Amino acid sequence: MATRFTVKGLRVSVEGKEILKGIDLDIRGGEIHAIMGPNGTGKSTLASALMGHPKYEVTAGEALLDGENLLEMEVDERARAGLFLAMQYPSEISGVTNADFLRSAINARRGEGNEISLIKFIRQLESKMKELEMDPELAHRYLNEGFSGGEKKRNEILQMMMLEPKIVILDEVDSGLDIDALKIVAKGVNSMRSEDRGFLIITHYQRLLNYIRPDYVHVMMQGRIVKSGGPELAERLEAEGYDWVKEELGIIDETVGQA
Amino acid sequence: MSTQLNAPVNLENIAALSQGRGEPGWLTDLRREAAALAGTLEWPKPEKMRIDRWNLTALGEHRAPQLAGDLKQLPEEIRASLPQDAANLVVQRNSGVCYRNLAEEWKAKGVIFTDLETAAREHGELVRKHLFRTVEAGEDRLTALHAALWNGGVFVYVPKNVELDVPLQAVFYLDDPEAAFAPHILIVADANSRVSYVDRVLASGAGRTAEAVHHSVVEIVAGPGAHVRFASIHHLPEGVVDLSIRRATLGNDARIEWIIGDLNHGNTLSVTKSDLKGNGSSSDSKLITVGTGSQNMSITTHAVHYGIGSESEMESRAVMRDSATAIINGVTKIEKGASKANGHQTERVLMLSPKARGDANPILLIDEDDVKADHAASVGRVNEEQIYYLMSRGIDRELAERLIIRGFLTPTVGEVPIEAVRGELERMIEGKLDA
Ligand SMILES: Nc1ncnc2c1ncn2[C@@H]1O[C@H](COP(=O)(O)OP(=O)(O)OP(=O)(O)O)[C@@H](O)[C@H]1O
Ligand SMILES: [Mg+2]
C-alpha cells in the first residue's frame, strides 16, 4: 500500500496557549511538501506535536499514517510506525555513542530476535556516513555532544537514512549549513525519495528547495496554513517576502497568539 | 571494657582466638589493646549520616573454612565470578582464607601474596612494620573493633623494582550468616615496583539473606616511585552492612589508582583516602555507586596533600533509585608546604526517583598559596528532552532511560583500566538497575 499521511483539523496548545489552530495536510508517498512561514508562526510546533513532544497538547484533530492515528501513540510507537523528525535543535547525550544509539534505534524497530548483525550495521553506517561526507570519527563520539551545527544536521539526516522512515519531517535542516553541506544533505534526502516515502520540509529559504524540488508549498501564519501552491510559490516568497501574502489575506501580525 | 562491646567481642575470646591461630605475641597484644580501646571510642561520624543507627551488632562468630586445594571445591556462584586466570588468587570464605595461590614466577622474584593471617606468622617483621600504621587502630570505634577482630585478609609485598604485569586478585565471600567477616588488606609496594590488585566482596548461598556486618580496612604503602592500582567491587546483599575504610600512604613520586564500585544492596560506609606524603606523588580515584531500595550510603573520597607538586584526581558518580540515600563527599586537603599541589575533584549524582536522595559535597581545604584546586559537583535528574529525542527514534522509554543512565556512568566506568574489572562493574551496575 502506498504511504499516505493525513493531518486533519490539528489544534495544539502549549502551556494553555493555543498555537496551532486547525492544520490540514495530505501527503502521499513520493511527494515532497514544503512549509514556509515567518518566525514564530507554529512550524516547529506542528513538527513537535506530530512527533509527540510532551510539552505540546493536542486539543483536536487527527494524524493518520496509513490509517493509524499517530496521536494515540507514544513517541517511540510513532517512530516505529514510520514517522521521523529531523529536529531543529537535536539533543546532546553524553556517554552514549552515536553508533550505539543508532544500533539501538534500528533494533527497536526490527524487534527482539531480529537484531541487525554488527557487520551489516557497520557496513551500512560507514557507507551512509561516506555519502554524507561525515568524519567517520563521529560514529564513536557521544551523541551530538560537541558536534558543530552542521555536524548535528548531517547526523539527523544520517539517522533518517539508517532508519528508513515512511514520513520524514525536516525542521530547518538547512539552517547553519554552508553551501557545500547543503548540497550534500539535499543529495542525501533526494537519495531517499521513493514512492513509499513522503517528506514535509520546513524551511525559511528557497535555497534548499532548489536542491530538493517540492511538489507543494504551504505558507504558515498564525498557526494555520494560509496559502498553498506549487514550487513557484516558494520562489515568489524568496523574491518578495511575506508582505504580499499578508496583504492578500488581510493579516496584520502573522505570529500566533493573535486572533 | 568488654561489657561495653557488642557481643561476642570480649578480651578473653580475642586473645584465645589469636593464640589458637598461632599468631605472634605482638599481634595478640595489638588485638587485645584494640579491643580495650573500642569500648572507649565513638563510631565514625560522617557528614549527614548517622551510621550509629545502623544495625552494627551482628559482628558474627569466628568461622574459618578448610583450606581448599582446588578451586572446584568452591560454590558454583563464586567460581563464576572468579577470573579466567586464577593463577594469582586469594579467596576468603567467611572468617578465613579457603584458597590461595601465587605463580612460581612471582614467588621467585620475592613477591608475597597470601592471606594476612598466614603472612603474620610467616613474615612477622614485615607485617608488623606496616600493620595498622596507615590506618591506626585507635582512630575510632570502627578501626579499633576491626583491629581486634579482623580475620583472613590479604597481604601483598612487592620488592623493589619488581613489576607485576598481571593483577593479583582476591574474592571475599560470606555464605554463613553467623560468621564474622572482616578481611584486612595490607599492600606494601617497595620502591619503583608496580602492582595491580583487584578484589570483589560478595555473599553467596545462606549469606545472601544474612543480617551481618562486613568491616574491612585496606592499608596501602607505596614506596618511592611505586605504582599501585587497587580495584574493588562490593556487592553485598541488603542485610549486610558494609563498613570499608581504605587508605594509601604515598612516598616520593609514588602513585595510587583507586577504582571503587560500591554496589551493595545494604547500608554502606565507604571511605577511600590518599595521603600524598611524597613530593611528586599522585592519586587518582574513580568511584561508581548505584543506590537502590532503601539503603543508606556514606561515600567519601579524600586526598590529603603534603608533598610538593603532589596531584590528586577524584571522580565519583552515583545513580540513585527508589528511596535510597547517598551522601557523596569529596575532600581535597592541601597542607601548608605542599606547594605546586594540584587537586581536582568531581561528584555527579543522577536521581531516578523523587524519593531518592543524593547529596554531593565537595570540600576543599587549602592551607598553602601556591596550589591549584578545583571541584565540580552536580545533582540532576534524567533529562526529559533527551528521553524524547531517543524515543523519537523508536527506542522505548525504558531503554531510553537505560541508555542515558549508562551514558552517565560510562565516562567513569569506561576509564577503568582492567578490562575484566570493567566488565564486572558493568554487569553489576546492570544488575542493580534491573532489580
Ligand atoms: N515549548 C514551548 N513553550 C512555550 N511556547 C512555545 C513553545 N513552543 C512554541 N512556543 C510558542 O509557539 C509559537 C510558535 O513557535 P514555533 O517554534 O512553532 O515557531 P516556528 O514557526 O517554528 O518559528 P521559527 O521559524 O523561528 O523556528 C511561538 O510564539 C513560540 O514562542
Ligand atoms: Mg521552528
The mean pLDDT of B47-68, rounded to a whole number, is 91
Query: Are residues A100 and B403, on separate chains, in Cβ contact within 8 Å?
Result: yes
- How close, in Å, is residue B403 to chain A by CA atoms? 7
Query: Are residues B403 and A96, on separate chains, in Cβ contact within 8 Å?
Result: yes
The answer to whether A79 and B398 are in contact (CB under 8 A) is no
The answer to whether the Cα torsion of B99, B105, B106, B109 is positive or negative is: positive
Q: What is the DSSP letter of A63?
A: E
> Is B131's pLDDT higher than 50?
yes
- Give the pLDDT confidence score for residue B7 in this predicted structure: 45
CB-based contact (8 Å) between B413 and chain A? no
B127: containing domain? 3-278
Write out residues in chain A with pLDDT < 70, as ranges: 1, 257-259
Same domain, B143 and B264: yes
Phi, psi dihedral angles at B71 (to 5 degrees): -65, -25
> Is B138's pLDDT higher than 90?
yes
Chain A residues 126-155 within an 8 A CB cutoff of chain B: 142
> Is B352's pLDDT higher than 60?
yes
Q: What is the DSSP letter of A19?
A: E
Kindly give the pairing relationship between strand A4-14 and strand A17-28. antiparallel
CB-based contact (8 Å) between B403 and chain A? yes
User: Residue B300: inside a domain, yes or no?
Assistant: no
- Give the pLDDT confidence score for residue A259 in this predicted structure: 46
Q: Closest-lying ligand to the alpha carbon of A255?
A: 1
From B35-39, B219-223, B286-290, B321-325, the region with the lowest mean pLDDT: B35-39
The mean pLDDT of B329-342, rounded to a whole number, is 98
Among B278, B306, B332, the domain-final residue is: B278
Percent residues over pLDDT 70 in chain B? 97
The answer to whether B259 and B231 are in contact (CB under 8 A) is yes
- Give the pLDDT confidence score for residue B1 in this predicted structure: 31
The answer to whether A201 and A172 are in contact (CB under 8 A) is no
- Give the pLDDT confidence score for residue B5 in this predicted structure: 47
pLDDT band at B281 (very low <50, low <70, confident <90, very high): very high
Same domain, B157 and B272: yes
> Is B79's pLDDT higher than 90?
no
Cα A44 to ligand 1 centroid, rounded to whole Å: 6
- Give the pLDDT confidence score for residue A1 in this predicted structure: 62
User: Residue B324: inside a domain, yes or no?
Assistant: no
Among B278, B303, B329, the domain-final residue is: B278
State the burial class of residue A3 (Cβ atoms within 10 Å of its Cβ: 0-12, 13-18, 19+). Answer: buried
Cα A188 to ligand 1 centroid, rounded to whole Å: 28
The mean pLDDT of B329-350, rounded to a whole number, is 97
Q: Closest-lying ligand to the alpha carbon of A42?
A: 1
Ligand 1: list residues with CB < 6 Å: A 14-15, 19, 37, 39-45, 55, 255-256
Chain A residues 25-54 within an 8 A CB cutoff of chain B: 51-54
User: Residue B345: inside a domain, yes or no?
Assistant: no
What's the CATH architecture for A4-95+166-249?
3-Layer(aba) Sandwich (3.40)
Among B245, B278, B311, the domain-final residue is: B278
B180-199: per-residue pLDDT in tens? 999 999 999 999 999 999 99
The answer to whether B375 and B364 are in contact (CB under 8 A) is yes
Q: What rounded mean pLDDT belongs to chain B?
A: 93
> Is B11's pLDDT higher than 80?
no
Chain B residues whose CB is inside 8 A of the A96 CB are 403-404, 406-407, 410
Could you tell which of A10, A36, A43 is best to mutate to test the pocket of ligand 1, judged by most ligand atoms within 8 Å of the CB? A43
Same domain, B16 and B164: yes
Chain A residues 178-217 within an 8 A CB cutoff of chain B: none
Which atom of ligand 1 is nearest to A38's Cα?
Answer: 25
pLDDT band at B2 (very low <50, low <70, confident <90, very high): very low
> Is B6's pLDDT higher than 80?
no
Q: What is the pTM of this model?
A: 0.87
Same domain, B53 and B201: yes
User: Residue B303: inside a domain, yes or no?
Assistant: no
- Give the pLDDT confidence score for residue B77 in this predicted structure: 80
Identify the H or E element spanning B129.
helix B124-130
How far is it, in rounded angstroms, from Cα B80 to Cα A69?
Answer: 50
Same domain, B388 and B244: no
Chain A residues 156-175 within an 8 A CB cutoff of chain B: 159, 163
pLDDT band at B9 (very low <50, low <70, confident <90, very high): low
CB-based contact (8 Å) between B315 and chain A? no
How far is it, in rounded angstroms, from Cα A156 to Cα B16?
Answer: 72
